[in-house]
Amino acid sequence: SSSSSLPVWGTLEEMAAAETASLPQSPVGVCLSPTAMADTPGSQSEDHGPSGQDEVPSTSHDHEDASSSLQDALRVKKNELAQFLLSRYFAREPTTKAELLNSVLRDYQDHFVVVLGQASEYLQLVFGLEVKEVDPSEYTYILVPTLGLTLNEMLRDEQRLPKAGLLVIVLCLIAVEVNSAPEEAIWGALSRIGVYPGSEHYIYGEPRELLTQVWVQEGYLEYRQVPDSNPACSEFLWGPRAYVETSKSEVLEYLDRV
């Protein structure tokens, strides 16, 4: 099935893993201080061992450890930057590059472009929000809904975590299946990012209710039994509101960009 080979899945799986606190690679669980990172490159590379001879592999390992420590630290900063941008989103306030550097990236200012790019991808895939630069002269940023979907705006009014990231995924799955996607295929694909029917998700809540009731009532999805199916099975289609707010061509272009 085309839904199992979507180009978006590799990245989405990484994002889902990053949001699962029980997994060791989760940036939420990494507590690496800048001083600990700075201490890594030095001492072992200068230790020549009992023989008094340079041990090149040790130096190589130290370099790899330093690089790994930096990447771990940048993942933590990506998470902190995303949280900061979300707080500004809920407050309906823009932010600036200077504020991001001073508030989040004080010790990592040289890595601003990389960390902002990673945080932007994270916010887009998980929450359905895009980082938009609104004033290039002042480097001012806001978060806007991916694909123009207004779902997040309603949730922001209620101070609830944005859920449009999951809606975008479902709309993408349906779009690549042309007009409709079997319910079984949808849940099979979503299970790859840790979203299961009947299992509470800390961002999206209970997914089955969200897909088959809430988003159906809001007009984003249609959920119906497949005609003449035996045994009976159901499928998802785009709802009328999805067609009003975005288009399948926009969704397919979005998939190409991810």
Q: How many domains does the chain have?
A: 2
Contact 149, 245 (CB under 8 A): yes
Assigned domain for 52 exists: no
Same domain, 143 and 170: no
Domain boundary among 127, 147, 167: 147
Assigned domain for 227 exists: yes
Same domain, 75 and 158: no
User: What is this structure's pTM?
Assistant: 0.72
Domain boundary among 100, 125, 147: 147
186 vs 46: CA distance, rounded Å: 55
Burial of 193 (0-12, 13-18, 19+ CB in 10 A): buried
User: Angle, to 10 degrees, between the axis of helix 112-127 and the axis of helix 9-18?
Assistant: 100
For residue 23, the domain's CATH number is 1.10.10.1200
Same domain, 120 and 89: yes
Same domain, 32 and 92: yes
52 vs 2: CA distance, rounded Å: 60
- What is residue 130's predicted lDDT score, i.e. its pLDDT? 93
Contact 29, 193 (CB under 8 A): no
Bridge partners (DSSP) listed for residue 96: 140
Structural domain of 9: 2-38+57-147
Same domain, 94 and 176: no
Length of the chain: 258
For residue 200, the domain's CATH number is 1.10.10.1210
Q: pLDDT of the chain along its 258 residues, tens only?
A: 343 333 344 444 444 445 433 222 322 322 222 222 233 223 333 344 444 455 555 566 666 677 788 888 999 999 999 999 999 999 999 999 999 999 999 998 999 999 999 999 999 989 999 999 998 888 999 999 999 998 877 777 777 788 999 999 999 999 998 889 999 999 999 999 899 999 999 889 999 999 999 999 999 999 999 988 889 999 999 999 999 999 999 998 888 877
